[in-house]
């Protein structure tokens, strides 16, 4: 089994490196263009720190905004989620104070983190920006609310520099969003990714009571083939749950073993990549996790998550 997983992982990493373009990774094409900055940071965070990462870090250092931070790509202003993911993926010596300061500006009194602050939204949605129409700020209020996954990614990125008081507030905010064994989020159509980043953010601070609830939910939603997904095995969903299990200390469990076997049995993973990471577009009239628009995805985001899950 270990040899099969090693071979499988090698296929994934080769696919990932083949998609690199001068240090840049791309995914999730929207009206503002294709994602480059945050997705490159995400790949760096998932992969081992190899020589090839230097090109990506060089690209990210050059693309950091004057005031700090990174965005979806260079066409839009920097945001907290992209910045948190990039900081987490960068080597510690390359993280600048201006980027940390930029990210901290998005932490609210509640401990939650908004994707944008009003000042940056006003810059983004103005007459000079060809990607967004000029409109009253309340049209885009969904971008200003506290988002669970953004809060989790921020805590992951800044854990070593935040005060205990601020960390405590952020952890409380995350736990206040816990719902019957998992986490849901405004940005995501499913619970897999929000649950993964919440567990990663909280690390060892989850009590056995909550661990039991999480594991029970995961066990109840497991498919007959050993993986997870809406109706069939999905690499992204299964990967997120495997990372959750590892973080909770369940990498020796039957659940984890079943997940690995499901990857082996569904080894033609390319067939299942497209459309499996179900992100949503925030809008003014959609402020819950129930509704939302599924964004078309490409594959590098899923591949990086898969590699991280199988790299044990």
Quick one: which of 219, 283, 287, 285 has its CA closest to 250? 219
What is the DSSP code (8-state) at residue 182? E
The pLDDT score that the predictor gives to residue 288 is 42
Contact 153, 84 (CB under 8 A): yes
Contact 126, 98 (CB under 8 A): no
Contacts of 219 (CB under 8 A, 6+ apart): 255
What does each of the 312 residues of the chain score in pLDDT, given as a tens digit?
678 788 888 888 888 888 899 999 998 877 778 889 999 999 999 887 665 678 999 999 999 999 999 999 998 889 999 999 999 999 889 999 999 999 999 999 999 999 988 878 776 665 555 555 555 556 667 778 899 999 999 999 999 999 999 999 999 999 999 999 999 987 787 899 999 999 999 988 899 999 999 999 999 999 998 999 888 888 889 999 999 999 999 988 899 889 888 887 775 655 444 446 666 665 544 444 344 454 555 588 888 998 999 886
DSSP 235-247: HHHHHHHHHHHHH
Residue pointed to by tokens 């577009």? 281
Residue pointed to by tokens 């200390």? 249
The pLDDT score that the predictor gives to residue 287 is 43
Q: What gap in Å lies between CA 10 and CA 20, rounded to an integer?
A: 16
Q: What gap in Å lies between CA 269 and CA 206, rounded to an integer?
A: 32
Contact 273, 303 (CB under 8 A): yes
Alpha helices in the chain (DSSP H): 2-18, 37-46, 53-63, 80-89, 97-104, 118-124, 148-158, 164-176, 192-202, 208-220, 235-247, 254-265, 300-310
37-46 and 53-63 helices cross at what angle (nearest 10)? 140
Residue pointed to by tokens 């459309």? 275
Quick one: which of 236, 194, 223 has its CA closest to 12? 236
Cα dist from 131 to 32, 77, 180, whole Å:
6, 12, 39
Intra-chain end-to-end CA distance of the chain, in Å: 13
């Amino acid at each position: 089994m270990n040899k099969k997983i090693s071979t499988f992982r090698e296929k994934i990493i080769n696919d990932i490196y083949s998609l690199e373009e001068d240090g840049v990774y791309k995914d999730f094409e929207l009206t503002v263009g294709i994602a480059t900055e945050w997705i490159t940071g995400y790949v760096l965070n998932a992969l081992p720190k190899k020589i090839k990462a230097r090109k990506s870090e060089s690209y990210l250092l050059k693309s950091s905004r004057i005031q700090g931070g990174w965005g979806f790509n260079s066409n839009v202003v920097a945001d907290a989620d992209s910045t948190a993911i990039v900081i987490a993926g960068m080597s510690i010596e390359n993280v600048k104070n201006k980027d940390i300061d930029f990210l901290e500006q998005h932490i609210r009194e509640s401990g939650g983190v908004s994707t944008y602050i009003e000042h940056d939204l006003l810059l983004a949605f103005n007459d000079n920006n060809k990607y967004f129409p000029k409109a009253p700020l309340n049209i885009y209020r969904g971008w200003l609310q506290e988002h669970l996954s953004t809060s989790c990614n921020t805590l992951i990125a800044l854990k070593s520099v935040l005060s205990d008081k601020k960390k405590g507030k952020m952890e409380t905010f995350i736990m206040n969003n816990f719902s019957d064994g998992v986490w849901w989020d405004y940005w995501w159509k499913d619970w897999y990714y929000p649950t993964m980043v919440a567990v990663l953010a909280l690390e060892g601070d989850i009590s056995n009571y909550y661990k039991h609830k999480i594991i029970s939910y995961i066990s109840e939603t497991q498919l007959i083939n050993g993986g997870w997904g809406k109706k069939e095995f999905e690499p992204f969903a299964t990967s997120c749950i495997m990372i959750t299990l590892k973080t909770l200390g369940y990498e020796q469990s039957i659940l984890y073993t079943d997940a690995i076997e499901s990857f082996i049995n569904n080894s033609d993973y390319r067939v299942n990549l497209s459309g499996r990471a179900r992100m949503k577009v925030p809008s003014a009239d959609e402020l819950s996790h129930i509704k939302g628009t599924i964004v078309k995805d490409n594959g590098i985001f899923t591949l990086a998550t898969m590699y991280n899950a199988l790299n044990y």
